[in-house]
Chains A and B, each alone.
Chain A
Amino acid sequence: MKERDESMESAPRGSWQACLRNGFGTAADRRNQVRFLLWMLAWMVAFTIAAQTLRGNLTGLGLEVSGRAAWVVAILPNVLAVGVFLSYLRYLRMADELTRHIQILGLAVGFGVWFFLSMSWKLLVFAGGKPLSSDWALLIPIIAMAFGQLYFSRRYS
């Protein structure tokens, strides 16, 4: 019996429609993505709690730290960050080859944006501009990486 050929469907090549239709990676990739996202979620929760505790915003809940305890609270989320890093490496190592290719291109876009942004902003600061906040310096490359991955996913669809 003839199997249904999705390639004959009407979505034009290189469109968002085709990109979504073709999916992202294999079932194993999706499992590893979920594992990575769970680590990321755990880290984000730990990071938020640690940040709020250190800022003294959770004293009402009895979470008040100072001295060495504050250092421990500041370091603890990094344990989860190691999990985030290792789960991403595992995802990348085991990924379907085109998925890995797209991920690496996305990382390259993120790195490129971070490099040029930080270098050119430094010159703007020398020219009298305000320094870029560390929050934006972190957020912009992550957004650039996500857009890079979406762009290349579309390009290969």
Chain B
Amino acid sequence: MKNRLRVMRAEREWSQASLAERLDVSRQTVNAIETGKYDPSLPLAFKIARLFELRIEEIFQPSE
């Protein structure tokens, strides 16, 4: 799964720690999602979408 999380976070000038705090997850989780090593659960994907006021598919796209 590809995602735009790192770009969206950078646009808001948030650190990984800050985003992790807003999502109530660890910084390791944010880092693993950004680097594509870990796909978030559906509840976390919804939480991310809500935080950035976007739809899930605007953030996450399936890999080709």
A-B contacts counted at CB < 8 A amount to 65
- Bound-state CA distance A93–B17 (Å) is 22
**Nearest opposing residue in chain B for A97, CB measure:** B41
Given A4-B15, A5-B15, verify A101-B27 contact (CB < 8 Å): no
What band does the interface of chain B fall in when counting residues whose beta carbon is under 8 Å from A?
20 to 34
Chain B contact surface mostly: helix
A101 to B41, CA, bound (A): 11
Are B38 and A6 within 8 A (Cβ)? no
Which one of A19-27, A55-63, A68-76 is at the B interface? A19-27
Closest A residue to B14 using CB positions: A3
Point out residues on B near A: beta carbons under 8 Å.
6, 10, 13-18, 20, 24-29, 31-32, 34-35, 37-38, 40-41, 44
Chain A interfacial positions (CB closer than 8 Å to B) = 1-7, 13, 18, 22-26, 29, 96-99, 101, 153, 155-157
- A sample of 14 cross-chain residue pairs with beta-carbon separation below 8 angstroms, ordered by A number, consists of A2-B13, A5-B15, A5-B16, A22-B27, A23-B28, A96-B26, A97-B40, A97-B41, A97-B44, A98-B32, A98-B38, A99-B28, A101-B38, A155-B37
